[in-house]
Amino acid sequence: MNIVIDITETMKSYDPKDKYKVISRYDEKFTSLHQALKWLKDKYENCSRSKMYYDQNEHYSYHTGYIYGYRNADYSHSPIVKWLQQDWVSIYELKPINLEKERTKV
């Protein structure tokens, strides 16, 4: 089993008029769902979270991940910069496609 966690990090200032913007995007790969969920628990242990859903069609959606929210700061220089961060985290299972079975015209 190949599990991929896709993470999109977003941030905004504390100003209520500001909007979230994407600051980075990356993925982590695991051999089992158990390992992936443990990694998420360790990484986002003290964060608030909301469920994220994938809308398959107008009548059906399913839970595919979480939005983790937390306060973040850069202490590497002065003045210290602080912001609100949301990480949009989706979990996927990758599997190969049998091209012989799925014969498509190219």
Q: Is the pLDDT of residue 104 over 70?
A: no
- Percent of the chain residues past pLDDT 70, beyond the cut: 94
User: Domain boundaries in the chain?
Assistant: 2-94
pTM: 0.83
Q: Express each pLDDT in 83-103 by its tens digit.
A: 999 999 999 999 888 887 776
> Once rounded to an integer, what is the mean pLDDT over residues 25-46?
96
Q: Rounded to an integer, what distance in angstroms lies between the CA atom of residue 77 and that of residue 88?
A: 27
The letter for the amino acid at 21 is: K
The angle subtended at Cα 41 by Cα 36 and Cα 43, nearest 5°, is 95
Please tell me the distance from the alpha carbon of residue 101 to that of residue 38, in angstroms, as a whole number: 35
Residue 100, pLDDT score: 79
pLDDT at site 91? 96
